[in-house]
Each structure stands twice: as structure tokens, then as C-alpha cells.
């Protein structure tokens, strides 16, 4: 076992754990603690001199503590993991200014925070003694896994030295560093050219702004040390704030594994308890019915929240579109206005990027498309190219000035807001459409069980997804990387559009040849939700194939699910039973009543 701090062939196997007499060794300035680090303040009180003398230099104390540590070693030799933990705790305490406590910890354990050469190096850097720091690099060379990194470390030191000279107005000294020390390294010449430009800065503020540098002092030197440490093994010098980093990673991992975590990730450890594991309750998840909307008088085929989350649009076989207003506080929805006259019913809806307009499409035998101004309730455009057309799907271009539409009879059009035809693609039987954020590429699923990318600018197309069964509908994640497909007789599939691979098949949902629309949702789109022909809404965590919740309440096929993009705890579903259900967290009831609601949301954890 190689103890922490062991050098590359120079140090003995007991480099990290020594007795306290060895522990006090340091060739740096007299203000150094026996733990090897430069003394600071302990809650505002100086702890340098008395502490150093009582622990580091007193021969009596050294002898006594040496015998104590020797006794400890006889009882139990510390494992590598135990040494690491002690060093992590020591580093954290040192950062809090508890240097006497660190000294005692190192003395009793027989460990030290870092290699003596690293301690000297740290102290010289923090004191701005650049020549001494350069000499220290020669000692550190033998301890490094990659001796070539010495050049990079020297470059970083000289860069700091150069900037500090400039800030102090010592232009000639700075010029000497640039020409006589940095340039001969023959490393990163582009950066040297940038550094030479700083000679023209007229004052210190200008230099700090252009160099994006904090200026001479503790802050910039600490940042420099953080960069320098990356070239040193952790056995020689611990990475900065290592315990804090490990704790943050543990919290993030627990959140990552939490099935129901649906809030913004906060990397600040002060916002969580480190004494308990992170667990989100299912009662905080949108799997309880908040409202049942019964204003439609026939099957509801589609529902979609606006991009800003303030409105919900629902389309029905009853020939109407209803716009609902979402209350930002209570998250209750109320009827805002009804858009009528869609003779064949409304099977698909698309909000414009700025939510000003809403386009409504009908089923297969519908050759018309309606473009509504949501703010005024006025019909801006009613488009129909031919009575033989079937316009069943639509997607907005990100610029909000164009849209594409098509259907299974071979129509594929690009139009402006007045319904004027801008471009068309012949012979593509479109099932579903999506415009990517590049503003050029349109994804279209067709009757050949595939999704192809079409570029209307250079009139090129390419195959992206190939399934073995009909793709009834699909949607794309916000970042454009993932596509969620509802595949006939197969269910819900997740594809990576960039790598063009099938990522996951989600289990549980009943999918025949009905058109069912699924969605991404929740914070960071970590969840998948889909309707089903067994009258349920299924929710999965994006990384898991088994559902984490099954929502019951609808009495016929659930055709569409939409997750509010601005309120992660709000979701809506549309069903052939003529209702729209709005789902949210459990209401604020006492524990017994809340437990009674569990029948509404089946737990699929096990």
C-alpha cells in the first residue's frame, strides 16, 4: 500500500503518515503550522507563533506526541482510505481558519496534509515570491506523474508575475519577464501575444478588465494555485475544496437517482441537509387530479400548453378549440375563450414560438388549416391548397414567420402567416412534423415507418430514424437531441437524433393504431409521459424503462398528454371520454387524507 503523499521513487511508503516530529518539518517561513500549511487566523485570532512553538518546535511535545502516535500505530495502522478522510477533514478545517484544530488532528493521526515541497511551493506562491516558487518546481518534478507539466506550471507562474508587475507600474520588469522568461519557454505563443498587448493598458483597472484578472492579491493567487494543483498528484497536494466537491457530488448523485425529483438543482450545499439522504415524495409529483375540465361535448383529441406555460389549448371532435388560462399562483385553469368552426374536429394544435398564434389541424379527411390570433380570438388565416389535401400535422419555424404542414396524401408545404405557399415537397406522406432550432431542418415521420430530415433551403433530405412499425406521432426535446416516438403496437420509444440510435423502449403503455401523443416534461425534461389505450396516463423517468406512476381516472383512451414547460408540477391529459384532466401534486391535506389519494397514482417503484 502506498501511503498518501508518496513520491515517485524518492519517498518511503510512510510519506503521508509520520510522527509529529517529522510532521513539524517545513522549510518555509516561520509562520507555518505543523500541519504544513501557512498560518492564517482562527476566527480572527492569530494562531501562528504559539501554535508553531507548542506543536512544531517544542522537543518535549514532539517526544510525547511521537510516543503517543507510535502507540497509536501499534494499536492500529491507518488504512489508505482513513488517511484520505483525515486529510480531507484537515483541508476543510484549514479553509475555515481552524488551524490549531488541524495541527492537533495531524499530530494525533500522524498524517500531514501535503508533501513538504508542496507546502513550500504553496507558501511562496501566496507570498508572491516567484523566484523561490520557480525553484520549488525542481523539487516537485520528481513527484509528478508528468514531468513535462513543469513547463506549463512555470508558464502560469510567470504569467502571474508579469501581470503583477504591470499592475504595479513596473513596465520594464514586466517586459523583461515577457522577453527573457516567458518567450524562451516556447510554449503557448498565442497567449504570449495576448499578454504583450497588455503593455498598452493605461491603468490598472484597464489591465484587470482586459485580462479578466482579479488583480494582485490573495484572490488571483488562490485561483493560480487551483490551476497549478491540477498538474500535481493528490498525494502531493490535495485538489482545492476537495471535501466540499465530494459532498456536492454525493448530493447531485442522490438527486439524480431520485425518481420523483422535479425541481431545479441547487449546487449550494447550504440548501440541503447533509445528515439525511435526499428523497422526494411522490405526493410532490403531478399525479393527482387537480381539475376535470368538461366543457368539451365530445372526444378530446389533443391538448398543448403554451410555450410560456400561461395557457392551455385543447382540441376536440366537437369542432372547437378551447383556450384556458393558467393561474400562476394556484395553477388552476379557467376557460378564456372558445374558437369554433373546425368542421372535421381538431386533432392537432401548435403554438407559435411567441404564443401569439395557434394553428389547428383536423383528422385525415380534413384539407383545411386554421391559424388563430390567440390574443384577440380572431381567425387570421384559413388555409386550403386543394380539397384533395389532408393537412393533419403542423410545425412552426423558430422565426415564428413560417410553418410547415402536411398529411398522408402526399402534401408537404411551407407557408407564411397568410397561408401563402413558399415551398413544397412532392410525394412525402406526412404523419407528424417538427422544426429543429437551426431554422432549416424539418423532421417528418412518414408512412415508411421512418423519420427523415428535410432541408427546404438546399432541397436535401436524409434518413434519421427507421422503425419496424408505423410511427403514429413524435416530439423532440428542447435541445433537439432526443425524439420521443409513439410506435404502433410497440409503445413509446426514445431515439438519439444525433447518434441515430434507439436509446430506450418504455414499458407498460398500451398502444395500438390510435394516434397517441406523448411528451417530455418536468424540470430539465427528466420525465416522459404518454396516454394509453387502457385509459391511463403513464409517467417514466427518462432513464428508466419501467413507469414510476400510472394515473387513473379517464374512462376511455387517453389521446394526448402535455406537461407545462414553465410549471414542472403541472400536466394535462385529453381523452376520448370527453374530458381534460389537469394533474398536480397532492393537495394540502392531513397525512391520512393524502394517503387515501394514492389510489389515483399507482407507485411503480418496486
E strand or H helix that includes residue 559: strand 558-563
- The answer to whether 121 and 156 have CB atoms below 8 angstroms apart is no
Contacts of 525 (CB under 8 A, 6+ apart): 477, 478, 542
Which CATH number fits the domain that encloses residue 310?
2.130.10.10
216 & 324 share domain: no
**pLDDT score for 112:** 86
pLDDT, one tens digit per residue, over 446-492 is: 989 999 999 988 888 899 999 999 999 999 999 999 999 999 999 99
392 & 517 share domain: yes
Please report whether residue 381 resides in a domain: yes
Contacts of 239 (CB under 8 A, 6+ apart): 229, 230, 245
309 & 367 share domain: yes
Number of domains in the chain: 2
pLDDT, one tens digit per residue, over 36-80 is: 555 444 444 433 333 333 333 334 444 444 445 454 445 578 898
State mean pLDDT over 565-574.
Answer: 95
User: Which carries the bigger pLDDT value, residue 523 or residue 176?
Assistant: 176
pLDDT, one tens digit per residue, over 147-168 is: 678 899 999 999 999 999 999 9
- The answer to whether 530 and 486 have CB atoms below 8 angstroms apart is yes
pLDDT, one tens digit per residue, over 216-242 is: 999 999 999 999 998 988 888 888 889
> In a 10 Å sphere around its CB, with 0-12 CB exposed, 13-18 middle and 19+ buried, how is residue 475 labelled?
middle
Please report whether residue 43 resides in a domain: no
308 & 165 share domain: no
Please report whether residue 13 resides in a domain: no
**pLDDT score for 33:** 54
pLDDT, one tens digit per residue, over 393-411 is: 999 999 999 999 998 888 8
230 & 309 share domain: no
**pLDDT score for 570:** 95
> In a 10 Å sphere around its CB, with 0-12 CB exposed, 13-18 middle and 19+ buried, how is residue 547 labelled?
buried
State mean pLDDT over 278-305.
Answer: 91
- The answer to whether 557 and 576 have CB atoms below 8 angstroms apart is yes
| Cell matching residue 501 | 440510435
Helices 59-75, 99-109: axis angle to 10 degrees equals 50
380 & 456 share domain: yes
Percentage of the chain beyond pLDDT 90 is 58
**pLDDT score for 588:** 65
Residue 571: pLDDT band by 50, 70, 90 thresholds?
Answer: very high
Give the three-state DSSP class for 172: helix
Range of the domain at 220: 114-237
**pLDDT score for 339:** 96
328 & 225 share domain: no
Whether residue 250 is predicted with pLDDT greater than 50 in this model: the reply is: yes
**pLDDT score for 384:** 81
Look up the pTM and report it: 0.70
Please report whether residue 490 resides in a domain: yes
180 & 328 share domain: no
Whether residue 506 is predicted with pLDDT greater than 90 in this model: the reply is: yes
Whether residue 418 is predicted with pLDDT greater than 60 in this model: the reply is: yes
Percentage of the chain beyond pLDDT 70 is 84
Amino acid at each position: 500500500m502506498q501511503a498518501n503523499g508518496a513520491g515517485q521513487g524518492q519517498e518511503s511508503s510512510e510519506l503521508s503518515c509520520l510522527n509529529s516530529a517529522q510532521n513539524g518539518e517545513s522549510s518555509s517561513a516561520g509562520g507555518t503550522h505543523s500541519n504544513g500549511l501557512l498560518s492564517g487566523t482562527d476566527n480572527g485570532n492569530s494562531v501562528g507563533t504559539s501554535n508553531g512553538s507548542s506543536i512544531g518546535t517544542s522537543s518535549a511535545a514532539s517526544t510525547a506526541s511521537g510516543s503517543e502516535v507510535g502507540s497509536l500505530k501499534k494499536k492500529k495502522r491507518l488504512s489508505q482510505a482513513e488517511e484520505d478522510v483525515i486529510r480531507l477533514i484537515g483541508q476543510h478545517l484549514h479553509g475555515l481558519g481552524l488551524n490549531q484544530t488541524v495541527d492537533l488532528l495531524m499530530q494525533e493521526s500522524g498524517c500531514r496534509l501535503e508533501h513538504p515541497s508542496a507546502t513550500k511551493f504553496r507558501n511562496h506562491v501566496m507570498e508572491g515570491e516567484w523566484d523561490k516558487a520557480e525553484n520549488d518546481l525542481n523539487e516537485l518534478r520528481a513527484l509528478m506523474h508528468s514531468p513535462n507539466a513543469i513547463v506549463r506550471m512555470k508558464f502560469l507562474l510567470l504569467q502571474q508575475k508579469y501581470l503583477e508587475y504591470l499592475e504595479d507600474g513596473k513596465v520594464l520588469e514586466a517586459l523583461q519577464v515577457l522577453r527573457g522568461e516567458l518567450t524562451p519557454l516556447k510554449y503557448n505563443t498565442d497567449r504570449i501575444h495576448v499578454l504583450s498587448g497588455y503593455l498598452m493598458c493605461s491603468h490598472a483597472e484597464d489591465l484587470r478588465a482586459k485580462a479578466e484578472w482579479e488583480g494582485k492579491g490573495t484572490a488571483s493567487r488562490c485561483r493560480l494555485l487551483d490551476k497549478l494543483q491540477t498538474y500535481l498528484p493528490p498525494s502531493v497536494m490535495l485538489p482545492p475544496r476537495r471535501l466540499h466537491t465530494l459532498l456536492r457530488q454525493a448530493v447531485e448523485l442522490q438527486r439524480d437517482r431520485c425518481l420523483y425529483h422535479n425541481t431545479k438543482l441547487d449546487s449550494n450545499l447550504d440548501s440541503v441537509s447533509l445528515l439525511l439522504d435526499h428523497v422526494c415524495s411522490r405526493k410532490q409529483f403531478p399525479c393527482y387530479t387537480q381539475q376535470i375540465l368538461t366543457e368539451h361535448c365530445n372526444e378530446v383529441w389533443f391538448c398543448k400548453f403554451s410555450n410560456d406555460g400561461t395557457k392551455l389549448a385543447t382540441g376536440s371532435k366537437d369542432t372547437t378549440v378551447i383556450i384556458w388560462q393558467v393561474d400562476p399562483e394556484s395553477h388552476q385553469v379557467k376557460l378564456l375563450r372558445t374558437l369554433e368552426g373546425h368542421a372535421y374536429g381538431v386533432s392537432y394544435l401548435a403554438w407559435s414560438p411567441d404564443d401569439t398564434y395557434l394553428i389547428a389541424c383536423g383528422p385525415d379527411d380534413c384539407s383545411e388549416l386554421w391559424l388563430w390570433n390567440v390574443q384577440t380570438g380572431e381567425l387570421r388565416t384559413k388555409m386550403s391548397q386543394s380539397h384533395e389535401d389532408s393537412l393533419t400535422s403542423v410545425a412552426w419555424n423558430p422565426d415564428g414567420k413560417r410553418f410547415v404542414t402536411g398529411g398522408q396524401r402526399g402534401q408537404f408545404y411551407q407557408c407564411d402567416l397568410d397561408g401563402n405557399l413558399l415551398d413544397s415537397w412532392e410525394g412525402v406522406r406526412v404523419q407528424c412534423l417538427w422544426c429543429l432550432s437551426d431554422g432549416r431542418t424539418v423532421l417528418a415521420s412518414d408512412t415508411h415507418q421512418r423519420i427523415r430530415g428535410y432541408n427546404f433551403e438546399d432541397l436535401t433530405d436524409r434518413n434519421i430514424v427507421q422503425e419496424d412499425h408505423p410511427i403514429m406521432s413524435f416530439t423532440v426535446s428542447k435541445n433537439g437531441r432526443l425524439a420521443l416516438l409513439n410506435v404502433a403496437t410497440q409503445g413509446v420509444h426514445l431515439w438519439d437524433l444525433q447518434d441515430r440510435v434507439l436509446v430506450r423502449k418504455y414499458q407498460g403503455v398500451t398502444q395500438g393504431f390510435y394516434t397517441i401523443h406523448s411528451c417530455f416534461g418536468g424540470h430539465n425534461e427528466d420525465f416522459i409521459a404518454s396516454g394509453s389505450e387502457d385509459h391511463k396516463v403513464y409517467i417514466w423517468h427518462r432513464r428508466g424503462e419501467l413507469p414510476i406512476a400510472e394515473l387513473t381516472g379517464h374512462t376511455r383512451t387517453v389521446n394526448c398528454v402535455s406537461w407545462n414547460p414553465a410549471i414542472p408540477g403541472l400536466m394535462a391529459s385529453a381523452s376520448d371520454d370527453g374530458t381534460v384532466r389537469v394533474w398536480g401534486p397532492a393537495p394540502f391535506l392531513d397525512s391520512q387524507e393524502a394517503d387515501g389519494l394514492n389510489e389515483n397514482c399507482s407507485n411503480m417503484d418496486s
